[in-house]
Structure 1
Amino acid sequence: MPQEIMDRLAIRDLIENWAVWRDAGDWDRFRTVWSDDGVMQATWFQGIADEFIRVSREGFEKGVNILHFLGGTSIDLKDDRAISQTKMTISQRGLVEDVLCDVVCTGRFYDFIEKRNGQWRMILRQPIYEKDTVNPVDPSEQLLLDTDLLEQFPVGYRHLAYMQSRIGYVVKKDMPGLVGPQVEALYRRGENWLAGASL
């Protein structure tokens, strides 16, 4: 099998393992998808992979319910570096104004992935948040949101941010969306990194 095809299969496997092992709470195997200096950027967390694993595990054990579902993947490959974009949804269940709700956010995982010592590992994961919605689990319940709080967050993840802020997370308010300067800067960063620039 040509090396490029093997590399693409390994990268796709890495991306799928991230979602399955993280959502299942398989923390030892989840650590293996990251490089030693891996970094996670999310609405509620920005930092090194080891810390992300720790706080994710703590939340999992307390019943925080965040799940991921993956769609198609596009991979730009250059030697031992790759930028992958994977369609995804983030689904979080929790209380919003005392109503049990599901928030579903659609977007892409934008990943900086590098082959080190023969193994592909995630260097940086930056989600792109495109649109989201919130719905009561029991459709007969009425949900009333604080519009002032809701409008503090970008349109691509405002309901997700609303829920997360209500349960105590400090939410980053300038994450990349479908369009805008943040996502354009991310694309440039990815292009530069593939061309040999450092992160």
Structure 2
Amino acid sequence: MWSDMVAIQDLVCRERYWRDRGEWDAMRSAFTDDARLRVTWFEGSIDDYVESSRTRDWDPSASSTHRLSPSVVTVHGDRALAETPALVELRIEAAGMWVDAVISVRLLSRVVRTRQGWKLASMDAIYEKDVIRPVFPADRLAISAEDTAAYRRSYQFLAYGGNGRLPDDVPGDDRPELVAALYAAARAWLRPDERRAASGPAHG
């Protein structure tokens, strides 16, 4: 059990490490073939995610960087859940200037044991809050509460910098019903045997 938890934490850490450095083949190797991902800017298969990440104006000097805290891992047989607090650092243009944005998220991943070891079967970002500050100290970032009032509180500045071109139904702490549904589905997936037992015997 302990070795499984260590292996899963290492997998989660390496996947984001490879993502940040553009090591796409290595990042792809962390996932199952049918893995699904969801973040603000993407929802779909792992292969589409890799391709979108590779071609999405990727620039090592301006891409996102992930600062991970230790994962909380729950193992049940050949399945596991890993929840990882993270800070996502971005350099974007907002209000006519370059700003550094920091988004606080939790990465919830389903993990499965395969012949090649543990692999990620999904990854969902749960958004908590974000902050921005000017890159150049002399700049003054004049953004009022009214400017971001139309955007989700959990990623308001990210949405503002993207001119509102972000979905409104991504799980975030400001939408607890979406977060609860995501957790419930993950727990049911982790222990399918308990779900079958709770449903009772089949009747023919």
TM-score w.r.t. length of structure 2: 0.86
Aligned partner (choices 176, 181, 189) of residue 177 of structure 2: 181
Provide, for residues 148-184 of structure 1, a one-character-per-residue CA deviation record: whole Å limited to 9, x for no partner: 6622322111112222x23xx8312122223610111
Letter in structure 2 aligned against 1:51: D
CA distance change for structure 1 residues 90 and 117 in 2, over 3 Å: closer, same or farther?
Answer: same
Aligned residues: percent identity?
Answer: 28
Work out whether residues 106 and 126 of structure 2, in 8 Å CA contact, stay in contact via their aligned partners in 1. Answer: yes
Provide, for residues 83-122 of structure 1, a one-character-per-residue CA deviation record: whole Å limited to 9, x for no partner: 1111100111011122100110112111111112252111
In the alignment, structure 1 residue 172 sits paired with structure 2 residue 167: yes
Provide, for residues 15-54 of structure 1, a one-character-per-residue CA deviation record: whole Å limited to 9, x for no partner: 0011110001111101101110111100011111111111
Distance 2:113 2:150 in 1: 39
Distance 1:35 1:60 in 2: 26
In the alignment, structure 1 residue 162 sits paired with structure 2 residue 157: no
TM-score w.r.t. length of structure 1: 0.88
Work out whether residues 73 and 82 of structure 2, in 8 Å CA contact, stay in contact via their aligned partners in 1. Answer: yes
**Aligned counterpart, 2:36:** 39
In the alignment, structure 1 residue 10 sits paired with structure 2 residue 7: yes
Letter in structure 1 aligned against 2:178: Q
Work out whether residues 25 and 60 of structure 1, in 8 Å CA contact, stay in contact via their aligned partners in 2. Answer: no
- Which runs of 5 or more residues in structure 2 are unaligned? 196-204
Q: Partner of 2:140: helix, strand, or coil?
A: coil
Q: Partner of 1:72: helix, strand, or coil?
A: coil
CA distance change for structure 1 residues 60 and 12 in 2, over 3 Å: closer, same or farther?
Answer: farther
Distance 1:136 1:154 in 2: 21
Cα RMSD for the two superposed structures: 1.9
Distance 2:116 2:21 in 1: 27
Work out whether residues 8 and 75 of structure 1, in 8 Å CA contact, stay in contact via their aligned partners in 2. Answer: yes
Distance 1:88 1:153 in 2: 21
- Distance apart, 1:129 and its partner CA: 0.8
- Which runs of 5 or more residues in structure 1 are unaligned? none
Aligned ranges 1:1-199 → 2 under 5 Å: 4-59=1-56, 61-62=58-59, 64-145=62-143, 150-163=148-161, 165-166=162-163, 170-178=165-173, 180-196=176-192
Letter in structure 2 aligned against 1:125: M
Distance 2:189 2:160 in 1: 33
Q: Which moved more, 1:152-161 or 1:65-74?
A: 152-161
Letter in structure 1 aligned against 2:172: G
Work out whether residues 9 and 70 of structure 2, in 8 Å CA contact, stay in contact via their aligned partners in 1. Answer: no
Work out whether residues 75 and 85 of structure 1, in 8 Å CA contact, stay in contact via their aligned partners in 2. Answer: yes
- Distance apart, 1:143 and its partner CA: 2.0
Distance 1:113 1:25 in 2: 22
- Distance apart, 1:60 and its partner CA: 5.4
